[in-house]
A and B are shown apart, each in its own frame.
Chain A
Amino acid sequence: MSAGGALSIRQVTKVYDPEGVHVVAVDNCSLEVASGEFLVVVGPSGCGKTTLLNVIAGFEELSEGEIRLDEGPLALPGKQVGPGAERIVVFQNGALFPWKTVLENIAYGPVVQRRMAKNEAQRSARELLRQVGLEGIEESYPAELSSGVQRRVEILRALINEPRVVLLDEPFRGLDAVAKSVMHQFLLDMFERTRCTMYFITHDLDEAIFLADRVVVMTTRPARVKLELSIDLPRPRDHRVLGTERFLKLKQAALEAVHEEALKAFQAGERELA
């Protein structure tokens, strides 16, 4: 599998201006993500995190600034490279085709983009399933799977494209504590195996610190970087790291920053309605 790509987000601003209602979603935001880095972004709801992810993914255009992937331009004002296999999004709500089998779902991308023949893609999909101990579900349909397995299939569907960057927007939202911790181990395994660059959005600080090389806390809208935490916990990680003094120190710093922004967002919301 391919190695990760380096993302360079330079002074990006995104303004929505439907009928003159000037809403600044992202304000002069700069962020460097190293090749093979696991970056986790946290911040209040509606702070513009997802907007930024959408711009990186090529779903939306930026208003100002520049985004580069390995020095190739991805986005400039008025010039946007559309979505591509080198940066794949894993969505929070299953985007699997319900009428296709697991195997067909995973093999879909490379076939439709004519990068692999159907046989080759399916072989590759089987191999991925085998690697993660999910053999036996190739011919199942998504509805026959638990939401946890669906989410893993979703991630494999991204990885088969050998992306340089995987963009994940709260992929484990709604799972209970047990399921989440199984998913974390799964994603870390995949990360160690592929060393794709990960750009991961969440609200869950334990999740953030457990997974990340670096955690970035965003401000309330408009989104800017409020705090960067380098997560110097050794890898490979398992749940025992959660109880270490270092982990708790990092969590404390992140909690303070996030809580401050959450309160600001909350109070602003109340004022708006009054």
Chain B
Amino acid sequence: MSTVRRNFGEFQVTGLTHAYGGVPVLEDCSLEVPRGKLTVLVGPSGCGKTTLINILAGYEAPAGGRVLLDGQPVGGPGPDRLVVFQETALFPWMTVEQNVAFGCRVRGMPAGEMRERVQAVLVKVGLSDFQAKYPSQLSGGMQRRAELARAMVNDPKVLMLDEPFRGLDAMTRSIMQEFYVGLFEEVGRTNLFITHDLEEAVFLADRLLIMTYRPGRIKEVIEVDLPRPRTFQVMATQRYNDIRQHALELLFEEASKAFEAGSKAAFDLVDGLARAAGRQ
């Protein structure tokens, strides 16, 4: 793995509180996203993960608490903290190349430098041969890679990904996970990755943050000491399984804590909470 580069960032988040319509979503939520690490945030739908990422990205201002990026308070959105979303946000009327170049163009990057950067990123994600195509002409896996390229071309200090592989079929998803983890290992950028897929979380992470159900806080931080580079074979190892099992037990614990005696099983409540939050 390459050494951590000078310009990658780290987040320090202290005591975040946020609510929607009087319903607390985050409460006293503190965490660190260390430089050059792949931090994965896991929790069921509706636990406040997306809210958290929106606050870190600067799309929403928290009701309380503090977000520091390299010691500086985060204001609005900026190209130093980019989010790759779960739904594709590519512009359908632009080619892949134009989509990837968009951010650089908006920021007024000189044409030569822009071309060079865009081409390098397209090679990296294996889309050089597809740069003249429109998003609708791509497979789901290619669209997600174009999405990644569009963020990477801006060389952000922190890359945040909100369920970026959601909706892909399971096989493409596993290929994309390996591909993504390879990109991360090559560059060593600070990454914050959100998922509700525990297998994916353990496979990718350096650090796994388990969130509580509403209101969201960090319940436990698990250091994932699986060797890198990671390949799919790691998922059949004892260590992987132990970590996954431990994380699953924590998630169970959260479900049962909230579970009130009655005929409904723990996950009904989880579902109910997610639905109440209108985020499923």
Contact = CB atoms under 8 A, between A and B. Distances in A.
B268 A203 contact: no
B78 to A, nearest CB: 32
Given A45-B171, A148-B267, A248 B141 contact: no
A263 B220 CA distance: 35
Interface stretch (B59-67, B181-189, B238-246): B238-246
B241 A178 contact: no
Given A45-B170, A176-B45, A263-B175, A182 B238 contact: no
A46 B266 CA distance: 34
A24 to B, nearest CB: 19
Interface centre among B170, B245, B251, B266 (most CB of A within 10 A): B170
B265 A176 contact: no
A178 B248 contact: yes
A60 interface: no
Given A146-B275, A176-B270, A182-B267, A265 B171 contact: yes
A23 interface: no
A134 interface: yes
Interface in A14-55: 44-46
A243 B171 contact: no
Contact of A248 (B139, B238, B252, B266): B238
A181 B198 CA distance: 12
Interface residues of B, number: 44
A243 B245 contact: yes
Given A243-B238, A248-B238, A266 B267 contact: no
A147 B130 CA distance: 39
A266 B141 contact: yes
A147 B266 CA distance: 12
Interface in A136-169: 136-137, 145-149
Interface of B: 44-45, 129-130, 133, 137-139, 141-142, 169-172, 174-175, 196-199, 232-233, 235-238, 241-242, 245, 248, 251-252, 255, 263-272, 275
Given A147-B271, A181-B248, A274-B129, 4 more contacts: A146-B269, A177-B198, A204-B170, A269-B139
17 contacts: A45-B172, A146-B270, A146-B275, A176-B251, A176-B267, A177-B197, A177-B248, A177-B251, A178-B252, A181-B252, A182-B265, A203-B171, A243-B238, A243-B245, A249-B236, A259-B232, A266-B141
Interface of A: 44-46, 133-137, 145-149, 175-179, 181-182, 203-204, 206, 239, 242-243, 245, 248-249, 251-252, 255-256, 258-259, 261-263, 265-266, 269-270, 273-274
